[in-house]
């Protein structure tokens, strides 16, 4: 391959990244839910919008690295750019993967974007709120869980939280006599 043909390969790869990235970004939460969190006791796996943003940033880094590689001629600099961009890509992508709420019949697992993962049993839940959108505000439907140690987190009632999953949540709340408030 001649140097010009090899350099044009970077443009082709950059365009390929731009074309494929949206599909990968949108399918990643579903794939993670099916592969990693597929369990008979699973109530729901909720991925956050910030995760999609992190995946997009990772692919943007890959795109920029390919464009920079087109202009760089020094082999040592190219290797350095490839290593840095691969490390950055995987670090940012894995950060997006680790931001979720997993509701299981036995426990609740929350992994914030930055911070450590917490796992609570349903009996440790002290308060649950279900906020419904009221036609006038732009707020989305979401839940707020507060635990006995004061820790609380909020998550949207996304498409992965269907009627059956909400029913299982309500059943768990009733089973453990957890105060539940529905607000519209």
Domains in the chain: boundaries: 3-97, 101-183
Q: What is the mean pLDDT of residues 41-56?
A: 92
Report residue 167 as tokens.
């029913």
pLDDT score of 33: 86
- The single residue listed with the structure tokens 């794939």 is 31
Residue 5 has pLDDT above 80, yes or no: no
Residue 32, SS3 per DSSP: helix
Contact call for residues 139 and 94 (beta carbons, < 8 A) = no
- In terms of Cβ atoms closer than 10 Å to its own Cβ (0-12, 13-18, 19+), residue 42 is middle
The residues pairing with 128 across neighbouring beta strands, listed in sequence order, are 145, 180
pLDDT score of 159: 72
Per-residue pLDDT band for 77 (boundaries 50, 70, 90) equals very high
Strand arrangement of the beta sheet that strand 42-47 belongs to: 42-47, 100-104, 107-111, 118-121
pLDDT score of 137: 58
pLDDT score of 14: 92
Q: What is the mean pLDDT of residues 70-90?
A: 95
pLDDT cut 70: percent of the chain above it = 94
pLDDT score of 55: 96
Lowest mean pLDDT, pick from 85-94, 120-129, 150-159: 150-159
Residue 174 has what DSSP assignment? H
pLDDT score of 181: 84
Alpha-carbon Rg for the chain, nearest whole angstrom, is 21
Q: What is the mean pLDDT of residues 136-156?
A: 85
Q: Is the dihedral of CA 54, 56, 57, 58 positive or negative?
A: positive
Fold of 101-183: PH-domain like (2.30.29)
The residues pairing with 152 across neighbouring beta strands, listed in sequence order, are 146
Q: What is the mean pLDDT of residues 51-63?
A: 96
């Amino acid at each position: 391959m001649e140097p010009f043909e090899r350099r044009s390969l970077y443009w082709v790869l950059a365009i390929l990244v731009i074309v494929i990235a949206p599909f990968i970004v949108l399918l990643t939460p579903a794939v993670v839910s099916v592969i990693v969190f597929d369990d008979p006791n699973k109530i729901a796996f909720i991925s956050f919008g910030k995760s999609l943003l992190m995946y997009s940033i990772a692919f943007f880094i890959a795109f920029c690295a390919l464009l920079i590689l087109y202009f760089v001629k020094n082999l040592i600099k190219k290797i350095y750019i490839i290593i840095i961009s691969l490390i950055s890509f995987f670090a940012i992508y894995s950060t997006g993967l680790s931001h979720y709420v997993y509701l299981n019949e036995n426990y609740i697992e929350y992994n914030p974007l930055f911070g450590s993962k917490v796992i609570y049993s349903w009996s440790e839940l002290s308060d649950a709120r279900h906020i419904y959108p009221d036609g006038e505000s732009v707020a989305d439907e979401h839940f707020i869980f507060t635990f006995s140690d004061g820790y609380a987190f909020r998550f949207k009632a996304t498409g992965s939280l269907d009627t059956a999953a909400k029913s299982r949540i309500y059943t768990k709340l009733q089973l453990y006599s957890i105060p539940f408030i529905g607000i519209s």
